[in-house]
Amino acid sequence: MRANPVNTSDTNTSFSSQAGLPLRDSVALVTGASRGIGLAIARQLIVLGAKVAICGRDPARLKETAAELSHSGEVLAHAADVTRASEVEQLVRAAESRFGPISILVNNAGIGLFGPVQERSEEDWNRVLDTNLKSVFLVSRAVIPGMMRRGSGDIINISSLAGRNAFAGGALYCASKWGLQGLTACMAEDLRGHGIRVASVLPGSVATSFSGSKPKDPAKALAPEDVAHAVAMLLTQRPRSFISEVQLRPLQK
């Protein structure tokens, strides 16, 4: 599915100018939000009216990000390793104590380690799979019961086109993202009867500091704001339907 073109220099007004503040009463949690795609998503959700909790592993960078975002709306920064269940529980507790029940979860935390499988270590495998897949399980599990009690919620998992396509050197990363696609699809079926929408966004190459398989040409890559636009589109769709997957590609190859 292809979203409408966005002028990334003015992304923050792309939805709010059309529909007021559609997320005014929402509380969002965005993981991996101290930079790149996560930061762009958090910024867009604040502009749409949501109160946003962000997390990351680097307290200093997270503090700087929160200071930037706080000029636009209400934000809570909480340092956490989302591969650890105890820290996830503390994160969710802090967000809900500050803002109230979480109605939007964006699982964005992710890393990439690339190279032939025979050259990667068990530690590499654990780092990639824990960050890209286990964290989604842990954070989702922590917020789903509350969403079920309220009969509504949105969970958006930031995946990758690597979850659909294989490439040399991508064994660990592709394994994590293919697994994420399966997890997302099953969660969607488990939760749709409870009024909870679960979707994945699969970007192609994005111009960020993320360690990819090769350098990115900014003219032939997505901007983080393009991914944020797709997330906003999912959150502002009509309530009786849900888009289960968005594949997002740069216009220029």
**Do the domain assignments include residue 35?**
yes
Q: Which residue has the tokens 């975002």?
A: 69
Is 135:190 a contact under the CB 8 Å cutoff? no
**Do the domain assignments include residue 239?**
yes
Return all residues near 80 (Cβ < 8 A) that are at least 6 apart: 55, 56, 57, 87, 88, 90, 91
Alpha-carbon distance values, 81 to 51, 111, 124, 139, 189 (Å): 21, 13, 17, 11, 28
Instruction: Name which of 3-12, 156-165, 240-249 the model is least confident about.
Output: 3-12
Q: Is the pLDDT of residue 54 over 80?
A: yes
pLDDT of residue 8: 36
Is 50:30 a contact under the CB 8 Å cutoff? no
**pTM of the predicted model as reported, rounded to 2 decimal places:** 0.91
Helix (H) or strand (E) holding 197, with range, is strand 196-203
What span, in angstroms and rounded, lies between the C-alpha atoms of 81 and 78? 10
- What would the two tokens of residue 2 be? 């292809």
Cα 138–chain centre separation: 14
Is 27:50 a contact under the CB 8 Å cutoff? yes
The total number of structural domains that make up the chain: 1
**Do the domain assignments include residue 2?**
no
Task: Work out the pLDDT band at 210, boundaries 50, 70, 90.
Answer: low
Strand 196-203's sheet: what is its strand order? 75-79, 51-56, 27-30, 104-107, 153-158, 196-203, 245-248
Q: Which domain holds residue 154?
A: 8-248
Is 231:33 a contact under the CB 8 Å cutoff? no
**Annotation marks residue 18 as catalytic:** no
Where helices occur in the chain by DSSP H, the ranges are 16-19, 36-47, 59-69, 85-99, 122-129, 135-150, 171-191, 224-235
Q: How many of the other CB atoms lie within 10 Å of CB of 186?
A: 11
Return all residues near 153 (Cβ < 8 A) that are at least 6 apart: 102, 103, 104, 105, 143, 144, 146, 147, 191, 195, 196, 197
pLDDT of residue 11: 45
**Do the domain assignments include residue 3?**
no
**Do the domain assignments include residue 241?**
yes
Q: What is the DSSP letter of 222?
A: B
- Strand, helix or coil for residue 60: helix
What CATH number should be reported for the domain holding residue 200? 3.40.50.720
Task: Report how many helices (DSSP H) and strands (DSSP E) the chain contains, helices first.
Answer: 8, 7
Of 220 and 93, more confident = 93
Task: Work out the pLDDT band at 15, boundaries 50, 70, 90.
Answer: low
Task: Work out the pLDDT band at 13, boundaries 50, 70, 90.
Answer: very low
- Tell me the pLDDT tens digit for each residue of 112-151: 999 999 999 999 999 999 999 999 999 999 999 999 999 9
**Do the domain assignments include residue 1?**
no
Catalytic one among 15, 99, 114, 173? 173
Q: Is the pLDDT of residue 1 over 70?
A: no
